[in-house]
Structure 1
Amino acid sequence: MLNLVLFGPPGAGKGTQSAKLIEKYNLVHISTGDMFRGHIANDTELGKRVKQILADGLLVPDSITIEMLEEEVKNNPQAEGFIFDGFPRTVPQAEALDAFLVKNGQSINGVVQLDVTEDEIKTRIAERQKVSGRADDDAEKLLKRIDEYFSKTIHVLPYYEAQGKVSKVDGIGAIEEIFQNICSAIDAVK
């Protein structure tokens, strides 16, 4: 089983690259952002709770995120592997993910860090917002999300670096070139 974490700031290209990786490696994509948006769109109890948290530009508490993620993994027992997009965002989440996977005889094989400058991130999200209309891409919320990434999420990398699982890939350039570089990093840990 191949389990990957795709890591990078908002707008780094995680969604774009995930779609290509899913097809190539036959993985199940688990995006916490997509899960949250799905619950919000379906107006579930969880969706109502998450909606306000996201609207404020904050991270959803670990307990909610982990519960949703575990449910998603359990709903895909025939998967050949998973790509975790937007998770883990904190060291406690990474520890909880590792504990959950170990309990199921699995582990994270590799972490791909998409390295993108803050200026590039702002440009990409401004363009994405024009197309998607995603409420979480407005300028004020963008700044909060970027700040969350650089003040909290970035601290997950040393956790995985200590395990020798991080591959840093330049996230600026042609989509296909970035994809090939990601595939090279993944093939090295398979």
Structure 2
Amino acid sequence: MRIVLVGPPGAGKGTQAAFLAKNLSIPHISTGDLFRANISKGTELGRKAKAIMEAGQLVPDEITIAMAQDRMEQADAAGGFLLDGFPRNVSQAEALDAYLKAGDLKLDAVLDLEVEEDEVVKRIAGRRVCRNDSSHVFHVTYAAPKAEGVCDTCGGELYQRGDDSEETVRNRLDVYHTQTEPIIDYYKAQGLLVTIPALGEVADVTQRAMDALKK
């Protein structure tokens, strides 16, 4: 299967993408992973992206598209893939359509993880990270530490990262609504969009997505 996963920040795309890709036996292709891999390997695309990012500019669509196409052409993606973070706008979606059409391929579904905006803010703004080890993550509501502000694992101080503040989260949501949300209508017009309620346990959301794909 060839699937695109979309949804606002905080919807759990990365978590769901990993579970779905495993259940469907297809590679999980994440935009973040593509950038990290190309930069660490020193590919031509990676060098271009790194220079642009270090200059504080946004990486243009053509570089992101080229990285995604290169990854989709690898052997493990021959039988399908799950795209997470790409396409990020309508121009990228159109480029993906053109790429697939040229190979006589097509998408099977676009899964939209649906979460209310206030829930997104609650999920992200409630995160607290240990200063000693950033892999120790808690949440003031969903995974509260035993003692407020103290890491259960090592006793380190818990803090809210700057990019997890409510103001930053709402700014990220504004960018999502402006740049990425239009692809929902784009794919709905093609009859590919499947909306998945993303509230509840991770396993329950995964099962909803799997059930929807079977239909």
Q: TM-score, normalised by structure 1?
A: 0.83
Q: Pick which of 69-78 and 136-145 moved more.
A: 136-145
CA–CA distance in structure 1, aligned partners of residues 118 and 40 of structure 2: 31
- Amino acid in the other structure paired with 2:14: G
Q: How does 1:30-41 map to 2 (within 5 A)?
A: 30-40=29-39
Q: CA deviation at 1:39?
A: 4.0
Q: Select the structure that is richer in helix.
A: 1
- Amino acid in the other structure paired with 1:30: I
Q: Pick which of 83-92 and 43-52 moved more.
A: 43-52
Matched with 1:64 is: 63
Matched with 1:21 is: 20
Alpha-carbon spacing, 1:40–1:115, altered in 2? closer, same or farther (3 Å)? same
On the 8 A contact 2:26/2:77 being kept in 1, the answer is no
On the 8 A contact 2:10/2:124 being kept in 1, the answer is yes
CA–CA distance in structure 2, aligned partners of residues 110 and 27 of structure 1: 14
Matched with 1:49 is: 51
On the 8 A contact 2:49/2:63 being kept in 1, the answer is no
CA–CA distance in structure 1, aligned partners of residues 3 and 84 of structure 2: 9
On the 8 A contact 2:127/2:164 being kept in 1, the answer is no
Q: CA deviation at 1:145?
A: 2.5
Matched with 1:100 is: 99
CA–CA distance in structure 2, aligned partners of residues 78 and 91 of structure 1: 23
Q: Pick which of 136-145 and 20-29 moved more.
A: 136-145
Q: What are the superposed Cα offsets for residues 159-178 of structure 1, whole Å, 9 maximum, x if unpaired?
A: 11111110111111111111
Q: Given the alignment, which residue of 154, 167, 174 partners 2:201?
A: 174
Q: What are the superposed Cα offsets for residues 13-53 of structure 1, whole Å, 9 maximum, x if unpaired?
A: 11111111111111111111222234455674134235348
CA–CA distance in structure 2, aligned partners of residues 50 and 29 of structure 1: 25
For the residue of structure 2 that corresponds to 1:152, the secondary structure is helix
Give the count of matched residue pairs: 183
Alpha-carbon spacing, 1:118–1:26, altered in 2? closer, same or farther (3 Å)? same
Q: CA deviation at 1:157?
A: 0.9
* Greater length-normalized contact order (CA 8 Å, ≥ 6 residues apart): 1
Largest Rg, 1 or 2: 2
Q: Pick which of 86-95 and 35-44 moved more.
A: 35-44
CA–CA distance in structure 2, aligned partners of residues 112 and 147 of structure 1: 21
For the residue of structure 2 that corresponds to 1:169, the secondary structure is strand
Unaligned runs of 5+ in 1: none
For the residue of structure 2 that corresponds to 1:5, the secondary structure is strand
CA–CA distance in structure 1, aligned partners of residues 38 and 119 of structure 2: 30
CA–CA distance in structure 2, aligned partners of residues 33 and 165 of structure 1: 24
Q: Percent identity?
A: 41
Matched with 1:79 is: 78
Q: How does 1:134-145 map to 2 (within 5 A)?
A: 137-139=163-165, 141-145=168-172
CA–CA distance in structure 2, aligned partners of residues 129 and 105 of structure 1: 47
Unaligned runs of 5+ in 2: 138-160
Matched with 2:150 is: none
Q: Pick which of 15-24 and 78-87 moved more.
A: 78-87
Matched with 1:187 is: 214
Q: TM-score, normalised by structure 2?
A: 0.74
For the residue of structure 1 that corresponds to 2:191, the secondary structure is coil
CA–CA distance in structure 2, aligned partners of residues 29 and 137 of structure 1: 25
